[in-house]
Each structure stands twice: as C-alpha cells, then as structure tokens.
Homo-oligomer: A and B are copies of this chain.
Amino acid sequence: MAVTFELTHICKQSGARCGILHTSSGDIPTPVFMPVGTAATVKTLEPDEIKEVSEGLILANTYHLWLQPGTDIIERHGGTKSFMNWDGALLTDSGGFQVFSLSSIRKIREEGVVFRHHLSGAPLEMSPEDSIHIQNILGSDIIMSFDECPPFDAGYDYLKASVERTIRWAERGKKAHQKSDSQALFGIVQGGPYPDLRRHCLDELIKLDFPGYAIGGLSIGESKAEMKAVLEMMATVMPTEKPRYLMGVGDPFDLINGVMHGIDMFDCVLPTRIARHGSAMTSEGKIVVKNKRYAEDLTPLDPACDCKVCRQYTRSYLRHLFKSEEILGLRLLSYHNLYFLKRLMHQIREAILADRMGDFFKEMIEKAKPIVGY
C-alpha cells in the first residue's frame, strides 16, 4: 500500500481520532492541517520553512500544475516533489474543484468536462482518466478522485444526478490509476446537504474500497450549521479504519469542529491568503496587522506563540512592512499563520490523547468569538 492509516486513539470524551498516515516520505500525525502549495510553492515560503510550519504533508493543485508548467516539465523533474524541492509528503487534488470554481464557461458531459482556461479562455477538457493520469505524473503520495463539486444549494435533483456521475467517475478513475503501489487514491463524497445522497455516495465509494475518503462540497458558501449537519451525519457512517479528509477547511473553529466529528485531514488556502492581506491568526483572535493601533505596539504578533516571527519581530515592525508594501510582511505572516494552525492541531492531538477533546472544544467555544470568522 502506498499510504496506510493507523488509528492510534479515539477520545473517550468526544470520539475525535488520533492516527498516523504512514507515507514513503514520512509518518504524518493526524488530525493534520495541510498547507496549500497551489503552484508547487506554499506561497512565499521555502521548503525548509514549510517543514517548520507543517507536519510534512502539503497539498498542490493539479489544475494549476497541469496548465503551468505542464506535466511534461514536472515529469522531467521526476515529479512535483523534486520539482519544488520538497522531501515531505504531498497530496494533489483532482482538479475537479478548480474546473468548477475557476472556469465560468463549462459543459459537463458523462465523458468529462469541457471548459475554458480561467485566464486565457482557451478551450480545455478534463476527464476522470485525465485527472488520474496527470496526478500519476505529478507523483503525489495521495491523489484524489475526479468529482463534480456543484453548489451546495444546487437542489436535490441536480445533486442526485451529479452524485451518480461522481460515483461513475470515481470508478473510472480507480481503473485508470496506474500507480496504486506508490500513490493512494482517495474517494470524494458529494451530495450537498442531503443525507441520503451523501450516504449513497459513500456506500458506493466504499464498494470501490478506497484507502481514504474525503468529504467534498463543504466550505463553499453554506452556513456553519449546514456544514455541521453534514459532518454530524457523516461521522456516524464513514469507515473507522480509513482516513477522513474534510476538503477546503482552515478556519480554526471549523478545524476544531471537524475534529470533533472524526475528521483526520484538512487543507485550506485561508492561512496564507489572509496573511497576504495582512491578517494574522492569534490566540487572541484575528489581527489586522496594518491597523494604526499596532503602529507603536512593541509586543509580538501573538504573545502565546513561539514561532520565529513572534520571537523576533514586533507588531509595529510587521505593520511597517505592510504599510511599506514590503514582501517580507507577506512572508512573515504566512509563516506565522501556518505555524498557528500547526500548533492548534498539535494541541488538538494532545487533547484527544488525553481524552479531553470535549473539554478542549468547550474551552475553545467559550473564547470562540475571537477565533471564529477568519
């Protein structure tokens, strides 16, 4: 098996899980947050820094790498990891989400999707087989099934037909997968807000026996309550022994909530994206560094944080960098925000192992206001 999952502990207080993803590039403790390196770079950071702010597992986007630099060039480098000089583990998404979110003009056919380049408008096509073939070349440790990701409120009939297609695409992708000895292909559960569709999708994917299952179609504009409802339902039916991946989630409170519902893996651009807009995640809540109130603030970004940014720079200096439009500001905040989430996930794992994730959740809920809404 390319990647195996070892469930090491279930919190007696909450049902939250600790485990280990064994990959050929190292063991990854779960629950884990994966920084996103869309174009084979976690924005602004070098691989040695990515190591410091992650557990050694990051995500890259198939859609972007397929278009630039293209699979030929990555193949010549021996895969995405050597292309970007990353010796940790790597997960690639299927490209499906980008096809549906970035391209405004698209046509979904049974064969695959016909769409236009999100920048140039050039005509493009991607089938489930294409996606798997590209990911085989990208050489990631974990690859994802090509799914349709419709809007959360697309309606029952549309979502039912879409789920059926996503199941058929998952089967085709599995057949097309050429490297199951070195790459683990995960299935993706769709179905919007409808428990029967989610359940049906999961059951059919389980028949295909994927080494891991992702929950797709969340964090795409639905309410927190709607997300919670889906997670509650899924928690009771997803296979215990397989890793569970909630896609596109990175708000600290959503991470805590996901873990409470048995999720093992998360990814999101949020920490690096808000960093580039000058916002920092801190134990006291979100901080907009550029605000005038920090001009003379000689304290660290987050007094509770021990990352190199908080150890070495003042809020005043960081504000100055943003006021001066200096790239170092984006870089330091990106580093800190990822470190913040790494630390949060570490605290979460400790709480699970101590059978007190329920308490930890309540403590966090109590001070939730500041950390909700990144």
Q: Which residues of A are in contact with B by a Cβ distance under 8 Å?
A: 39-41, 43-47, 64, 68-69, 72-73, 76-77, 83-85, 295-296, 298, 312-314, 316-317, 319-321, 323-324, 326-328, 330-332
Report the minimal beta-carbon distance from A198 to chain B, rounded to whole angstroms.
35
Q: A330 contacts which chain B residues (CB < 8 A)?
A: 327
How many copies of this chain does the complex contain?
Answer: 2
Q: Contacts A83-B317, A298-B77, A314-B77 given: A326-B69 contact, CB under 8 Å?
A: no
A296 contacts B76, CB within 8 Å? yes
A46 contacts B85, CB within 8 Å? no
Q: A43 contacts which chain B residues (CB < 8 A)?
A: 326-328
Q: Contacts A317-B83, A320-B40 given: A73-B296 contact, CB under 8 Å?
A: yes
Q: A332 contacts which chain B residues (CB < 8 A)?
A: 46
A330 to B331 alpha-carbon distance, docked (Å): 12
Q: Contacts A317-B83, A320-B68 given: A41-B328 contact, CB under 8 Å?
A: yes
B316 contacts A69, CB within 8 Å? yes
Q: A327 contacts which chain B residues (CB < 8 A)?
A: 43-44, 327, 330-331
Report the minimal beta-carbon distance from A208 to chain B, rounded to whole angstroms.
34
A41 contacts B77, CB within 8 Å? no
B73 contacts A39, CB within 8 Å? no
Instruction: Name the residue on B nearest A314 (C-beta).
Output: B77
Q: A296 contacts which chain B residues (CB < 8 A)?
A: 72-73, 76
Q: A39 contacts which chain B residues (CB < 8 A)?
A: 320-321, 324, 326
A326 to B36 alpha-carbon distance, docked (Å): 13
Q: Contacts A296-B76, A298-B77 given: A323-B69 contact, CB under 8 Å?
A: yes
Q: A321 contacts which chain B residues (CB < 8 A)?
A: 39, 41
A85 contacts B313, CB within 8 Å? yes
A237 to B53 alpha-carbon distance, docked (Å): 55
Q: A323 contacts which chain B residues (CB < 8 A)?
A: 68-69
A257 to B17 alpha-carbon distance, docked (Å): 66
A46 to B321 alpha-carbon distance, docked (Å): 12
User: Can you report 5 residue pairs joining A to B where beta carbons are below 8 Å apart?
Assistant: A43-B328, A68-B323, A83-B316, A83-B317, A85-B317
Instruction: Name the residue on B nearest A276 (C-beta).
Output: B327
